[in-house]
Structure 1
Amino acid sequence: MTIWGRPALWALAVVAGAGAAALTGVAVWVDLDTADRVASVCGAILALVGLVVSLAALTCSAQGDTPDISVGSGGLVILDDVDRTAIGEGSEVVGSLSTARPATGRSTGRLKLRVSKGGKFFRGVVRDSAIGYNSKRRES
């Protein structure tokens, strides 16, 4: 949760509680017809506020959400699907190659990437692979 998220949720809870108490007070001390009208107006205003908030969320830039990935020496990062793959020193994949159509990679967008010497980074679908020192792929 962002730094302002928790206080905003508490403020929203307090405002909602105060609104419910105010509508209850109008219903008790004025009359039910007036409370109905006030609740209708409040509901319409809240619907418009919700529309504005949802449109703002849709149009916000996601630049702050850029992933920061660091791969150290000997490290491995695979940013999408892995299928029929052995990972590690001396690993081995035995069997016929997959006949299934490769899935399309879902990883889109920008990222900050640092790969040290000896590190490995894969972005996309990794299928029927042996990754690592002394690793091999062979038919059965």
Structure 2
Amino acid sequence: MIRKNIPGTSPFEPVIGFSRAVRIGNHVYVSGTGPVGADAADVAEQTDQCLTLIAAALRNAGSSIDHVYRTRMYLTRVEDWEAAGRVHGKFFGLILPAATMVVVAALLNPAWRIEIEADAFIPE
């Protein structure tokens, strides 16, 4: 199988040594994506930014948000679950991927209230 690394725009990529996404065969694995560019926004806007960045990475890998089959959301505040969930539903309401939402103590950037991972396929 052929592996292709998909870069993103995160300033953390060269420091940590990761790709925004990795395509292996017809699967795309998107790294934990924080709301870069929306650091000071509320959790709904941060969630939208995360998913917008994920959608761009998927396009760059030859897939799309329509082919996501799994997401993982990491929240820093339990009370944000519903606002974040509503935005997730805006993107995935028809697709209904397997999804996990957990609350964590902190994320890499203290201003971030959410970080999201996604897995998708590329149709044949």
TM superposition score normalised by structure 1: 0.21
Greater share of strand: 2
Greater share of helix: 1
TM superposition score normalised by structure 2: 0.24
**Structure with higher RCO (Cα < 8 A, 6+ apart):** 2
Rg: which structure is higher? 1
